[in-house]
Chains A and B, each alone.
Chain A
Amino acid sequence: MASAAVARPTDELAIGVIQFPATLHPSINAMTAKSYVLGMVRRPLTTYDAQWHLVCMLCVELPTIENGLAVPLDLDGGKRGIRLTYTLRPDARWGDGVPVSTSDVLFTYEVGRNPKSGIGNSELYRRITHIAAKDAKTFTIEMDKLTFDYAALDDFELLPEHLERAAFADPTQYRFRTLYDTDSTNPGLYFGPYRITEVASGSHIVLEPNPTWWGEKPAFRRIVVWAVENTAALEANLLAGGLDMVAGELGFSLDQALAFEKRHGDRFTVLYKPSLSFEHVELNLDNPALADKRVRQALLYGVDRDAISKQLFAGRQPVAASAVSPLDWVYTDDVPHYPYDPAKARALLDAAGWRGEDGGIRRNAAGEKLTLDLATTAGNRIRELVEQVLQSQWRDIGVELHLKNQPARVLFGETVTKRNFTMALFAWTSAPENVPRTTLRSDEIPTAATGWRGQNYAGFKSAEADRLIDAIEIELDRDRRAALWHRLQALYAEELPALPLFFRADAYVLPKWLKGVTPTGHQYPTTLWIEQWRIEGRETAS
Chain B
Amino acid sequence: MAHRGAGDGVLTRFVATRLLQVLAVLAVMSFVIYGLIGLMPGDPIDQMLTADPHLTAADAARLKALYGLDRPLAERYLAWARAALAGDFGYSRLYATPAVVALLPRLGNTALLMLSSFVLSLAVALPLGAAAAQRPGSLLDGAANLLSFAGMSIPPFWFALVLILVFAVALGWLPAGGVATIGDGGVIDRARHLALPVATLTVASIGTYLRFMRAAMIAALRQDYVRTARAKGASEQRVVWGHAFRNALIPVITVVALSFGSLFSGALITETMFAYPGMGKLIYDAILGNDFNLALAGLLFATLLVLLSNLAADIAYAAADPRITYR
Residues of A in contact with B (beta carbons under 8 Å apart): 1-4, 6, 8, 14, 16, 22-23, 116, 170, 172-173, 176, 181, 201-202, 204, 224, 226, 228-230, 232-233, 236-237, 240-243, 378-379, 406-407, 409-410, 413-414
Contacts and interface: CB of A to CB of B under 8 A. Distances in A.
A233 B41 contact: no
Interface string B261-288: 0000000000000110100000000001
Interface stretch (B81-89, B90-98, B214-222): B90-98
A413 B290 CA distance: 11
Contact of B42 (A22, A224, A243, A414): A414
Contacts of B168: 1, 232, 236
Contact of B183 (A116, A228, A242, A414): A242
B151 to A, nearest CB: 25
A232 B275 CA distance: 9
B172 A2 contact: yes
Given A173-B56, A176-B53, A409-B290, A23 B182 contact: no
Interface in B152-195: 164, 168-169, 172, 175-178, 181-184
Complex A-B, nearest 6 residue pairs according to Cβ-Cβ distance, in ascending order: A230-B275, A242-B182, A176-B53, A233-B178, A233-B177, A6-B183
B139 interface: no
A23 B41 CA distance: 25
B294 to A, nearest CB: 13
A253 B101 CA distance: 31
Given A116-B57, A173-B53, A379 B288 contact: yes
B289 interface: yes
Contact of A6 (B56, B169, B182): B182
Contact of A237 (B43, B53, B178, B274): B178
A8 B182 CA distance: 11
B46 to A, nearest CB: 9
A233 B164 CA distance: 12
Nearest to B94: A22
Interface string B72-113: 000000000000000000000011110000000000000000
Contact of A3 (B169, B175, B177): B175
B10 to A, nearest CB: 47
Given A22-B95, A181-B96, A409-B289, A232 B181 contact: no
A413 to B, nearest CB: 7
Given A3-B181, A242-B183, A407-B288, A172 B41 contact: no
A236 B177 contact: yes
A22 to B, nearest CB: 5
A242 B95 contact: no
A410 B290 contact: yes
A57 B327 CA distance: 77
Interface of B: 41-43, 53, 56-57, 94-97, 164, 168-169, 172, 175-178, 181-184, 274-275, 277, 288-290
Given A4-B184, A14-B183, A379-B288, 14 more contacts: A2-B172, A6-B182, A6-B183, A6-B184, A16-B182, A172-B57, A224-B182, A232-B176, A232-B275, A233-B176, A237-B182, A407-B41, A409-B290, A410-B41
Contacts of A240: 181
A233 B53 CA distance: 34
Given A1-B168, A237-B182, A230 B177 contact: yes
Max chain B C-beta neighbours (<10 A), residue from A23, A170, A173? A173
Given A232-B275, A233-B175, A233-B177, A226 B41 contact: no
B172 to A, nearest CB: 4
B181 A6 contact: yes
B131 to A, nearest CB: 37
27 contacts: A1-B168, A1-B169, A1-B172, A3-B181, A6-B183, A22-B95, A116-B57, A172-B56, A173-B56, A181-B96, A201-B97, A228-B178, A228-B275, A229-B275, A232-B177, A232-B275, A233-B175, A233-B176, A233-B275, A236-B177, A237-B178, A240-B181, A241-B183, A378-B288, A379-B288, A409-B290, A410-B41
A242 B179 CA distance: 13
A191 B41 CA distance: 42
A22 B91 CA distance: 13
Contacts of B42: 409-410, 413-414
A132 B290 CA distance: 43
Contacts of A22: 94-96
Contacts of B288: 378-379, 407
Contacts of B97: 201
Contacts of A170: 56
A23 B96 contact: yes
A2 B170 CA distance: 10
A176 B54 CA distance: 9
Contacts of B290: 407, 409-410
A226 B184 CA distance: 13
A233 B178 CA distance: 6
A1 B176 CA distance: 10
Q: In this complex, which of B41, B164, B182 has the most chain A Cβ atoms within 10 angstroms of its Cβ?
A: B182
Nearest to A238: B182
A171 B96 CA distance: 18
Given A2-B172, A3-B172, A181-B96, A242 B184 contact: yes
Given A22-B94, A116-B57, A201-B97, A237 B181 contact: yes
